[in-house]
Structure 1
Amino acid sequence: MFHFTPLLGAQSDSSACQSLLELDNGIKILVDVGWDETFDVGMLTELERYTPSIDLILLTHPTLSHMGAYAHACKHIPNFSSIPVYSTFPVSNLGRLLLQDLYLSTPIASTHLLETSSASIKAEDFSAPPAGSSGELLEGALKLPPTSAEIDSYCTRIITLKYSQPTPLHSAAARVSGKLGSITITAYSAGHTLGGTIWKIQQAQESIVYAVDWNHSRENCLRAAAFLSGGGVPVETLGRPTALVCSSKNSEVTNIAGGRKKRDEMLLTAIRKTALERGGTVLIPTDSVGRVLELVYLLEHAWRKDPVLSSRAKGKGIGLYLAGRRVKRLGQVVGSMLEWMDEGVVREFEAIAGGEKRGNRGGNNDDKNGKDGNKAGPFDFTHLNLISTQGHLSRVLNDGSERGRVIIASDSSLGWGFSKEVLIKLASDEKNLVVLTERADGKVGWAGDLWDEWKEGAGYGGEEKKPVAGQEILMNGKKAHVDIPHRVVLEGEELDSYTRHMAAQAALTSQHASLVSSSGLPNAAEADDDDASSSSDDDSDSERQGKALTTANSKKISAATVMLGGANPAGYAGGKVEIGVNILLRGNNVYDYDVRGAKGRNRMFPFVMRRRRVDEYGEVVRAEEYMRAEEKAEEDAIDEVDAKEERVMGKKRKWDEEQKAGTAARRLSRGAADAGKKRKMGKFKKGTAGGGDDDGYEPDDGEPEEDEPEEDDGEDEEALLTMPSKVTFSTVEVEMRVRVSFIDFSGLHDSRSLRMLLPLIKPRKLILIGGREVETKSLGNDCRHLLSGRGIAGRGDSTTGTDVYMPSIGIKVNASVDTNAWTVKLSENLVRGLKWQNVRGLGVVHVVGHLMRAEDSKAGSTDAEERGMKKLKTEASPDAEGEKKAQNLVLDVLPPVLAAATRSVAQPIHVGDIRLADLRRVLLDDGLTAEFRGEGTLLIDGVVAVRKGGVGNVIIEDGGGGMLRRGKGKGSFVDVRRRVYDGLAVVAGG
């Protein structure tokens, strides 16, 4: 059984993608947790409804469309974070940076407080403001978003897989009771992004291939999709699936910029024309961690090869910048993922590593590999300057330099990242250029408006429907009104109202949990108790302590509300308001709590016993607990001196030590006023790793001084995420005179590749999602003709025809394989007579029996057997009730009359396969001579030949003399045959 339901991304203008797969045993698999740039929480309603029944989550790409709502769901949807998640290593780590960049960049992603609801509480419970509060005070209030530390914890839970590694899910999680053991998942390369995945899901007869947003061609640093082998032949493991889920994006695009090399040259030409000739700035909006790697790799290597672009002497050359909240982490992380990239990148890295080794052996090699940058690795940024804070970006945009610049900024929608702020600054100057890297048909926002203007001005969508990529159009100077969101911390009455609302919301959650428990149904608190009993994590109990809420009487709730209302805003750093028995720990001067009517853990004092960590060597010893006082003092001193320590992903900094180190550094440096004056005067400083020429100086283009605390801005923004806040908007009027161009760097399949590959894959069922309505219907109509079974491209191949489905959002499709399968039990009499044989660790047995109903089998009479034989055809018929009746079928021993007839016609069956190399090794160990002669022929003692005629088909021939030595020991025909049979299972009826 296979049912498919698109939750998001089917015949829709939105790029968000979420799909639900339902298999046998009630297994539900969620593929992708996507969102779009609107951050509409209403899009997640269906996801919230299905969460309690989801058993597994698979992630395909580290983009907003495929992973944008993952942190929100883990934070705000109950029990979502307990579902096992699988992805590749790059998707997990790059997705972590994407989500951190998202919540640091815009407050809109936090979602409004009064718009969201949980799966256990009705929306109307929160539509009206709670008692004692004002709806006006809560207008614009935001839910506490996931912090960077929480996002780290969510992404650390993701189980990472390698490509082409089949993974049976024997016991992925205790909550599914091992029912995932019937499923095997395998990840294959999808192209498009680093670590992008095509998922193959195997269960019994169902073979499902989920391929959304893939790219069939290689790129500068990314692999191609795994559908085709190196010789252009379809890969067998992905061919002929029972169901193929494929995206229909770009199904009307017939030509993408003429290939990769032409596309790259088109971009470099536009950069030279704008930045060198006109002295303008080129803005390239793209996503945070996905397609940005292709652009970064291309431009970094172009700057290394072309001295005109990279020269910085006397204001020449072009400045190259990458702007994003997590770009510094991106540079560190990508260096550890080279094995996931294209073979060309791997060879480049190996050549550099080999050159360094030879240089070390041969002496000083600086003249050859030193200053020209040849020593730099594929993703060592020697010319690319990283911008990670708002202040740094402002300095770059307002430096007053006439030097041309290229700024790669997040995000591609121009809605929430640094790209929006850069465009506001550049829009009024016609010498600047905005290069759109993705199509934005039907999208709202600034990117959609620019795309529509470019299409109209460039003649896109004519009779031939071919994009005129690379053509620049000049905006006509019309006014654009842009809304800029701001996060404001709640104070005074707004904070009090926020506190009361959160307390009332927690009380309603507790009340609902109590009603569920009183009705006898399992609730979240009981599930958490079960998980905690089997968990060995030290922090698991303390985390679940706040999840189990209880219902107290109205007086106790009112008292808790008052006490929480006067709490410090810093107490909201955890993202929850604690009610219930935990008030004994969190509340001030609270020494009693009414537990009458409470259940489970809420009846007990909230004390958590810390478990001792034990490994294979015994109890884990923490060395820091046994340090002497003088040793701790020495370490503290070292940490204060080493204030410039390199920051590693996932490593937490100590605020006190960072503050002391920053103070000491500022005292030793020059005065801030003098440094500011020099920056304004355009003084020159020494060249850094970001690039430079032989003159040893370069113009100050806005980069922070070494003694400048660049991260202070980012730390302030991170601190705002932990406090109750609201969003306000300011409107900016922008005069649009900038030039706009489009060069396709989306890295997606086009119409030609879809119509060429789909007939080669030959799926039995084809489900089209991930595109707009017109794209989906156009591709679906063509596929019905291409896959109709009439033959493929004159090859003479024929298929049985393929069913094509084009579901809308929320519409369930039954795409089960066209076979009938039932579960049949073996009777005790039949099991006693089975003779098992082992073949490569598997048990094999030949069964000949009589299929009958369970009640007839229990009767054990001949009449019952005869009735069962007469009704066998009826019981096994695939009617509406056939499946239900077949659940009671039993396979029993044959009646004596039928057993004799069956035994006379039964033929021996050989099960398994044998490798000639293994057979040769066994014969050599026995002292025989065994040599390969010709192709696939093994000659033993010069007289007996063994050949393979196919899988499981072994041919043994006597070349003369082997039969004469029958029974005379080794080397005889019979002995060789026995050795062959030892590697197979010989089963026979009777």
Structure 2
Amino acid sequence: MASALQFTAISGAHSEEAVCYLLEVGDAKLLLDCGSFEDYSGEGLARLQRVARQVDAVLLSHPDMSHLGAYPLAYAKYGLTCPAYATQATHMMGRLCLQDVVRTLTAREEFTQFDEADVDAAFENITALQYAQPKTLPGRHADIVVTAHAAGHTIGGTVWTISSGGETVLYALDFNHMKEEHLNRSSLMEGAQGKVSTRLMKPTLLITGAYTALHRVPPRKRRVECFLDTVARAVRRGGNVLVPVDSAARVLELAYILNEWWSRDKARRDTHALCLLAQCSRKTRSFAQSLAGWMGGGVEAQLADRDAKPFDLRHVSTVQSVEELDRKLGGDSRARGRQRHAVVLASLESMSGFALDLFVRWAAGKKNVVILPQRGPPASLARHLYTRWWDRTQARRPTDTPMKLGAARLSRAHVSVTVKKRVPLEGSELDAWRAQERRRREQEAARDALLKRKRDMLDDDDVSSASDSDAADAAAADRRLGMAAAAGDMDAATFSQLDLETERLLSGQTYDLYVRGRGPVRGLYLVSKSYCMFPFQEKNRRSDDYGEIYDLETYMIQPDADDAAHLLDTAAPDADKPYESDTAARSETRPTKPVTKERRLQLNCELAFVDMEGRADGTSVSNIVVQLMPKRLVIVHGTSASTTALADFCRDPTVEVTKEIYTPAVGEILNVSSGVNVYRMRLADALVKHVPMAAVQGCMVGFVSGRASFSHEDQTPVLEPDHAELTNAWRPPMLVGDPRLSALRAVLVRQGFAAHFDSEGTLVCNDAVAIKRASSKRAKCDTIKILGTPSPDFYSIRAVVYAYLAVL
């Protein structure tokens, strides 16, 4: 029977928040994306926590915060340990994106949601897939097959198909129908002349977004020209350019465009530096070069050229701190003592982190410009600046025309920002921290000594026998404590016991320990007995089978100095490797504390928005939805206005698309099952060997006639051969496929036959054979009749017709 489908929006419905949806296919629960922005707040995380342990699989679409920002948090704290799937590029760049966010937040505030170790552990749980690679879910959900298709928008971006029984779900969020500089267009548009792919048409359920439903943007070529012209004007007048970007997704397109443009003019390279500023900027460049096979556009030509290095951003300097950027601008030999200016791609997309640091520094400069390539997350500084630009430049634009391009100068305007940073501890705070660290080190040393003593006791205790009840309980407790400490899996109670004994040891109290010794001989056996001793433990000497004492350090291989230097060099092949993150180095050597300050900035710089999001606009999304012809449609990820606009377009009677359209609210459960009954049957071996198979459009099809029966061992019905049917085996032939005479005529012409239609629509071949289409009431289907006298042409034409049509 067909699987029941239920859809629930956890977040990202009637809003532009991060996306996370729950799709139930039968008794399997699939989580479609797991996004959150860097503030990690909102009701979406609470709803995710309630369902995380029930999820059977996670599908991740894009390597950005909106699609996978909450995945490490859910894996580490919510119990979302089920299998997860993503493309290899999404797996690599998504991990890099979250590492950059964790380092950025940790360097500025007390971020305790998760750490880099949690990110690594979560992404080790992800199964990396290739495009068009069907993947069957493990265990009892083996009837569900998920397949990743290219979405464009980001490297490794995915449009998912989920198939189970007779149901096919197409999850297409944030796709791009146009080819870009480093990416090809989405697999949705693999058809000819702007048509959608036939293999993705007519899904049972289509889940898509309305994020761009109300946006009309100019052609991509004009937008790229506007972006470069805005940068060029700032460069000519000697200003700085700030472009807030993410750290691993859309930044690749912007870096590639600027790098190619930068290589055409040596003058701008002498006066300005092109930099990528992020916590993991060097990894971003090296990872992108290793994923060149996932790219398209201009990178494909570089892959074909053996002399060119794919995705070689030779003019983009990677820096990992503002201090390193200052050193690069002031210490370059080409500057000849002058302070150089810069065009900086700075993280993060929301204009927090390094982007905020540069914005505070450059906002008051009249020669500087801030270019927003994306609208930014809701309630962020980037979204606030975008709203100001929109109100200034698009106030008188008709709603049905593309947005105007260009920069705006917000003269005498002010903006309030929240600056978060860490400052070194001083005075009494520094003394208190040092005292706390000293106590912590003493406790750790005492705990390590106590654990070592108990491990040594376990090594020496090789005699097993019974003893007094109290002594045996104490010895067993010591044994469990030592074994738990050695295994590293001590619970809270064990740690409490260790802390109690550590405090006693630190306070100088003496207490007795139960130490086993050899007791008297009773009969033929030695009796082990525990004695109360003072805390003294004899050091056990380790010896081999011949009694020779050995030292473990003698056999340890110490790394050679040259090997260590080689490992250090290979870890970071960039030329500017010596510059490390000053923030990270300072936090390791000197204690710091987070400080938050509100600042009011005067905006004298130019502000521009150039849509470089890499998403299909509203018109394109509407046309693609119509061509996909889904049976049911769910619209999410957009404001209430954009969601309603796309739904109203699809509900228009003149639009040939399904009228089963759903716009769910957050938390609403939708039953989107098709209601079609599909039954599974197992074919008996005796039946299969008598079935002739024919190839039809890449599939093998055969005519089966039998009787269904149930066995006691298996609940799946078995189709057995019908002996009465086998006795009267003849039946009229059946054509499978589309027996169009026009297509058949083209096949005959290619085979060298003269074929044409007469006035009655009969296909005449070589003026000797007639082929006509007729209806058969007995077979209840259309048939093809071949009329003519037996001749070599007749048999040759019949063979061509039989090869073209599947006859069962």
TM-score normalised according to structure 2 size = 0.72
Does 2:424 align with 1:484? no
1:515 corresponds to: none
Cα gap change, 1:632 to 1:481, in 2 (>3 Å):
closer
Aligned counterpart in structure 1 of residue 203 of structure 2, from 233, 241, 255: 241
Q: Give the letter for the 1:448 counterpart.
A: R
Please tell me whether the aligned partners of residues 484 and 732 of structure 1 are also in contact (alpha carbons under 8 angstroms).
no
Distance in 1 separating the partners of 2:179 and 2:30: 30
Aligned counterpart in structure 2 of residue 907 of structure 1, from 714, 731, 737: 731
1:94 corresponds to: 93
Distance in 1 separating the partners of 2:213 and 2:133: 31
Q: Give the letter for the 1:806 counterpart.
A: T
Distance in 1 separating the partners of 2:125 and 2:572: 19
Does 2:221 align with 1:261? yes
TM-score normalised according to structure 1 size = 0.59
Q: Deviations over 1:112-166 (max 9, x none)?
A: xxxxxxxxxxxxxxxxxxxxxxxxxxxxx6537322x553343243222222223
1:36 corresponds to: 37
Question: Match of 1:184, SS?
Answer: strand
| Residue 562 (structure 1) shift | 4.8
Q: Deviations over 1:321-361 (max 9, x none)?
A: 1101111111111112222212432113323x1xx3xxxxx
Mapping for residues 502-521 of structure 1, pairs under 5 Å: none
| Residue 497 (structure 1) shift | 13
Please tell me whether the aligned partners of residues 349 and 376 of structure 2 are also in contact (alpha carbons under 8 angstroms).
no
| Residue 630 (structure 1) shift | 12
Distance in 2 separating the partners of 1:203 and 1:544: 47
Cα gap change, 1:61 to 1:640, in 2 (>3 Å):
closer
Aligned counterpart in structure 2 of residue 381 of structure 1, from 313, 337, 344: 313
Q: Deviations over 1:933-975 (max 9, x none)?
A: 853689xxxxxx9x9x9xx9999999956899xxxxxx9999x
Mapping for residues 476-555 of structure 1, pairs under 5 Å: 476-478=412-414, 480-486=416-422, 491=433, 549=491
Mapping for residues 841-856 of structure 1, pairs under 5 Å: 846-849=704-707
Q: Deviations over 1:527-555 (max 9, x none)?
A: xxxxxxxxxxxxxx9999767958x5xxx
2:381 corresponds to: 446
Distance in 1 separating the partners of 2:587 and 2:205: 45
| Residue 191 (structure 1) shift | 1.0
Question: Match of 1:444, SS?
Answer: coil
Does 2:648 align with 1:713? no
Does 2:350 align with 1:413? yes
Please tell me whether the aligned partners of residues 180 and 297 of structure 2 are also in contact (alpha carbons under 8 angstroms).
no
1:209 corresponds to: 170
| Residue 743 (structure 1) shift | 0.8
Please tell me whether the aligned partners of residues 330 and 340 of structure 2 are also in contact (alpha carbons under 8 angstroms).
no
1:104 corresponds to: 103
Q: Give the letter for the 1:645 counterpart.
A: D
| Residue 980 (structure 1) shift | 8.7
Please tell me whether the aligned partners of residues 142 and 725 of structure 1 are also in contact (alpha carbons under 8 angstroms).
no
Cα gap change, 1:493 to 1:817, in 2 (>3 Å):
farther
Cα gap change, 1:542 to 1:816, in 2 (>3 Å):
farther
Aligned counterpart in structure 1 of residue 265 of structure 2, from 283, 290, 306: 306
| Residue 306 (structure 1) shift | 2.5
| Residue 62 (structure 1) shift | 0.5
1:271 corresponds to: 231
| Residue 430 (structure 1) shift | 2.0
Does 2:282 align with 1:328? yes
2:472 corresponds to: none
Distance in 2 separating the partners of 1:435 and 1:280: 13
Distance in 2 separating the partners of 1:641 and 1:8: 48
| Residue 629 (structure 1) shift | 8.7
Question: Match of 2:644, SS?
Answer: helix
1:12 corresponds to: 15
Please tell me whether the aligned partners of residues 469 and 744 of structure 1 are also in contact (alpha carbons under 8 angstroms).
no
Distance in 1 separating the partners of 2:584 and 2:612: 33
Aligned counterpart in structure 1 of residue 144 of structure 2, from 156, 177, 183: 183
Please tell me whether the aligned partners of residues 412 and 437 of structure 1 are also in contact (alpha carbons under 8 angstroms).
no
Q: Give the letter for the 1:349 counterpart.
A: L
Distance in 1 separating the partners of 2:34 and 2:204: 24
Cα gap change, 1:108 to 1:406, in 2 (>3 Å):
closer
Mapping for residues 348-363 of structure 1, pairs under 5 Å: 348-351=302-305, 353=306, 356=307
Does 2:664 align with 1:807? yes
Please tell me whether the aligned partners of residues 107 and 485 of structure 1 are also in contact (alpha carbons under 8 angstroms).
no
Distance in 1 separating the partners of 2:172 and 2:277: 31
1:53 corresponds to: 54
Distance in 2 separating the partners of 1:3 and 1:719: 50
Q: How many residues align?
A: 674
Distance in 2 separating the partners of 1:109 and 1:498: 24
Q: Give the letter for the 2:230 counterpart.
A: A
Please tell me whether the aligned partners of residues 276 and 318 of structure 1 are also in contact (alpha carbons under 8 angstroms).
no
Q: Give the letter for the 1:225 counterpart.
A: S
1:671 corresponds to: none
Question: Match of 1:305, SS?
Answer: coil
Does 2:394 align with 1:459? yes
Determine what percentage of the aligned residue pairs are the same residue.
24
Aligned counterpart in structure 2 of residue 143 of structure 1, from 102, 108, 112: 112
Mapping for residues 392-791 of structure 1, pairs under 5 Å: 392-396=324-328, 401-415=338-352, 417-440=353-376, 443-460=378-395, 462-464=397-399, 466-478=402-414, 480-486=416-422, 491=433, 549=491, 558-560=496-498, 562=500, 636-642=560-566, 645-647=569-571, 709-711=578-580, 713=582, 716=585, 727-785=594-652, 788=653, 790=654
Mapping for residues 827-846 of structure 1, pairs under 5 Å: 834=687, 836-837=689-690, 846=704
Please tell me whether the aligned partners of residues 397 and 425 of structure 1 are also in contact (alpha carbons under 8 angstroms).
no
Cα gap change, 1:242 to 1:494, in 2 (>3 Å):
farther
| Residue 297 (structure 1) shift | 0.6
Q: Give the letter for the 1:64 counterpart.
A: M
Please tell me whether the aligned partners of residues 250 and 750 of structure 1 are also in contact (alpha carbons under 8 angstroms).
yes
| Residue 263 (structure 1) shift | 1.2
| Residue 208 (structure 1) shift | 0.8
1:164 corresponds to: 132
Distance in 2 separating the partners of 1:53 and 1:724: 41
Distance in 2 separating the partners of 1:813 and 1:403: 58
Please tell me whether the aligned partners of residues 106 and 485 of structure 1 are also in contact (alpha carbons under 8 angstroms).
no
2:530 corresponds to: none
Cα gap change, 1:408 to 1:756, in 2 (>3 Å):
same
Cα gap change, 1:972 to 1:440, in 2 (>3 Å):
closer
Please tell me whether the aligned partners of residues 32 and 66 of structure 1 are also in contact (alpha carbons under 8 angstroms).
yes
Question: Structure 2 stretches of 5 or more lacking a match?
Answer: 332-336, 426-431, 442-482, 507-511, 516-552, 738-746, 754-768, 774-781
Q: Give the letter for the 2:100 counterpart.
A: D
Instruction: Tell me which moved more, 154-163 or 283-292.
Output: 154-163
Please tell me whether the aligned partners of residues 837 and 845 of structure 1 are also in contact (alpha carbons under 8 angstroms).
no
RMSD across aligned positions (CA): 5.0
| Residue 385 (structure 1) shift | 1.2
Please tell me whether the aligned partners of residues 196 and 628 of structure 2 are also in contact (alpha carbons under 8 angstroms).
yes
| Residue 57 (structure 1) shift | 1.0
Distance in 2 separating the partners of 1:488 and 1:590: 46
Distance in 2 separating the partners of 1:544 and 1:474: 64
Please tell me whether the aligned partners of residues 958 and 973 of structure 1 are also in contact (alpha carbons under 8 angstroms).
no
Distance in 2 separating the partners of 1:765 and 1:77: 32
| Residue 220 (structure 1) shift | 1.2
Q: Give the letter for the 1:935 counterpart.
A: R
Q: Give the letter for the 2:189 counterpart.
A: L
Distance in 2 separating the partners of 1:844 and 1:543: 65
Distance in 2 separating the partners of 1:498 and 1:3: 52
| Residue 27 (structure 1) shift | 0.8
Please tell me whether the aligned partners of residues 416 and 598 of structure 2 are also in contact (alpha carbons under 8 angstroms).
no
2:478 corresponds to: none
Cα gap change, 1:409 to 1:150, in 2 (>3 Å):
same
Distance in 2 separating the partners of 1:470 and 1:956: 68
Q: Give the letter for the 2:25 counterpart.
A: L
Please tell me whether the aligned partners of residues 200 and 210 of structure 1 are also in contact (alpha carbons under 8 angstroms).
yes
| Residue 401 (structure 1) shift | 4.2
Q: Give the letter for the 1:716 counterpart.
A: A
Q: Deviations over 1:683-734 (max 9, x none)?
A: xxxxxx98xxxxxxxxxxxxx6x8xx422636537969xx999754233443
